[in-house]
């Protein structure tokens, strides 16, 4: 899968807890606004229209944080225009995405120097009988990022993480020392590309 992220040279969106991602989908693309540090149990009514959003908790090492995702489908031509800079990102946002951004101080209007960063090539792997998904991301400069994930109910997160760590130890696979989300490292690497 091909993935593009949008931000400006100062990472203005990321620094406000926002990520905008465009990724290929069957017959077109999906444009997702991801908002960090959200309390999924206390989101205002109407923030997530049916079929357009989800809120889930991400666990990176010992840190747990809620993340709201709002996604809209785009046709391939619109996606291509966004990546090439022929269309402004704001024109492709759904009503829910634009409404949310309007409510984030300093996020709207979107920065004028936003650009598509990428593409990142992502391959996902699963093993028969195993609950984990392994995503390998390769950036245009050749940098590799590997992320292993599993979706579970929040109440099962601690026990699932303990099982996962035991599985890694049994397989002789060391976890990297930095268990924080690697999103900012990917963005910085992408910004170094012309």
Mean pLDDT of the chain, nearest integer: 91
pLDDT value of position 141: 94
Distance between CA atoms of 36 and 54, rounded to whole angstroms? 12
Residue 5 near residue 19, CB atoms below 8 Å: yes
What confidence tens digit (pLDDT) does each residue in 145-191 have?
A: 988 888 898 888 889 888 988 988 998 988 777 766 688 889 999 99
Residue 73 near residue 120, CB atoms below 8 Å: no
Q: Give the Cα-Cα-Cα angle 124, 130, 134 (nearest 5 degrees).
A: 25
Does 89 score more than 80 pLDDT?
yes
pLDDT value of position 181: 65
Mean pLDDT over 8-20 rounds to 96
Model confidence, pTM? 0.91
Rg of the chain taking only CA atoms, in angstroms: 17
Q: Which two tokens stand for residue 193?
A: 């590309």
Which residue would you say has higher pLDDT here, 17 or 62? 17
């Amino acid at each position: 899968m091909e993935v593009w992220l949008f931000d400006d040279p100062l990472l203005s969106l990321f620094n406000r807890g926002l990520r905008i991602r465009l990724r290929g989908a069957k017959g077109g693309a999906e444009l997702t606004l991801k908002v960090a540090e959200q309390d999924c149990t206390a989101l205002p009514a109407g923030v997530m229209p049916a079929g357009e959003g989800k809120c889930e908790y991400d666990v990176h090492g010992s840190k747990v944080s809620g993340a709201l995702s709002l996604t809209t489908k785009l046709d391939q031509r619109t996606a291509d225009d966004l990546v090439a800079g022929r269309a402004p990102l704001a024109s492709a946002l759904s009503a829910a995405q634009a409404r949310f951004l309007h409510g984030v101080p300093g996020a709207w209007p979107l920065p004028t120097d936003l650009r598509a960063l990428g593409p990142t090539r992502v391959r996902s792997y699963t093993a028969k009988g195993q609950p984990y998904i392994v995503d390998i991301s390769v950036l245009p400069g050749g940098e590799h990022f590997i992320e292993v994930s599993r979706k579970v109910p929040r109440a099962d997160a601690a026990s699932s993480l303990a099982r996962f760590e035991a599985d890694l130890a049994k397989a002789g696979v060391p976890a990297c020392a930095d268990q924080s989300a690697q999103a900012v490292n990917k963005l910085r690497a992408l910004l170094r590309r012309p």
